[in-house]
A and B are shown apart, each in its own frame.
Chain A
Amino acid sequence: MNGTVDVNSFQYNASNNSSSFTYTPDDAPAGTLGVGTIQGPDLNGGFEPGSLAAGVFGAQSASTWNNAAGTVNLLGGIEASIMAPWAVAGADCLSGESKAGCAANLALAVVPGGSDMRAGAKALKAAEEMKAADYIAKYLKGGINAVFPGQFKGATLKEIEAAAKSGDRAARTALKLLTDGRFKK
């Protein structure tokens, strides 16, 4: 979901060591606010189960991040890019900052750069699952419909790409048309 974070909304809750913020979703009616919460690490006894900190820095993490010092597996690719600011802030926490400062830094580390990257990754994933007809309606000029292969209008972009890679000539043309700057709105 894309949206805009209110950077003045960040609050730290000392009782549960979390930071929260509000944001306005792009597609929501005016005035609609969402609330995001970032759970900080428990510096006295490891990481709270289920928290983002545990997922990223925990020893049992299945993530490409694999230790508490924020060591990065470079093969992590996009995940590494998205989580890098968080890792830096997290490493600072581990070196002895106060809980309040730590949680605030963790929150700020993901905004706005991190949130942009997360949104980009989600948009890419969402686009792959979109049907061509929906993608065209949202992102492209209607003129493309005159030359777009009709058999792929109801297919997802992922399905079209698979067909293109298998050698389907019409699917290849469909992909070329979908990615051609000429038709972008």
Chain B
Amino acid sequence: MSDQSWYLARLLMKCSANVENEPLFLEEFILLRGGSYDEAYEKAETKGRSMAHSYLNDAGGEVQWAFQSVLEIRRLIDDELVDGSELYSRTCSTPPDVVPKGAIG
């Protein structure tokens, strides 16, 4: 049996530009392979830093996405990922918003 497990990492990215006068964050869910929580955490930080990037918007303004922090590392229950694998769960006191289906998903 492998000593490696699957981990799901939640990363926080922050955008340099505001949208309608409010800051914009991006929460990334990343699947990682690791032998321990600490190893997964390190890989998550490395991945987060690698995801920083920038470009110009339509008006020519620079938009930067910077890695902020690792929000959470969670080890998956199952060792093998298959159709229907459970990746992440959390409890809440109010139902989360439903995101309606869009034309492109």
- Chain A residues engaging chain B, CB cutoff 8 angstroms: 123-124, 126-128, 135, 139, 143-151, 153, 157, 169-170, 173, 176, 178-179, 181, 184
B28 to chain A, nearest CB (A): 9
How many residues does chain B have at the interface if contact means C-beta atoms less than 8 Å apart?
Answer: 25
B90 to chain A, nearest CB (A): 18
> Are B103 and A149 in touch, CB under 8 angstroms?
no
B25 to chain A, nearest CB (A): 10
Main secondary structure of the interface of B (DSSP, over half): loop
Give me the 5 closest cross-chain CB pairs, A-B, nearest first. A181-B99, A127-B103, A169-B53, A150-B58, A170-B55
Give a binary string over B7-47; 1 marks a CB under 8 Å from any A CB, 0 the rest.
00000000101111000101000000000000000000000
Main secondary structure of the interface of A (DSSP, over half): helix
Q: With A144-B19, A146-B19, A147-B19 given, name 5 new contacts (CB 8 A).
A: A126-B103, A127-B104, A139-B103, A150-B56, A181-B97
| Across-interface contacts of A128 in B (CB, < 8 A) | 104
A125 to chain B, nearest CB (A): 10
Most buried by A among B59, B99, B104: B104
Complex partner residue of B26 from A148, A153, A176, CB under 8 angstroms? A176
Most buried by A among B18, B56, B63: B63
> Are B57 and A145 in touch, CB under 8 angstroms?
yes
> Are B17 and A147 in touch, CB under 8 angstroms?
yes
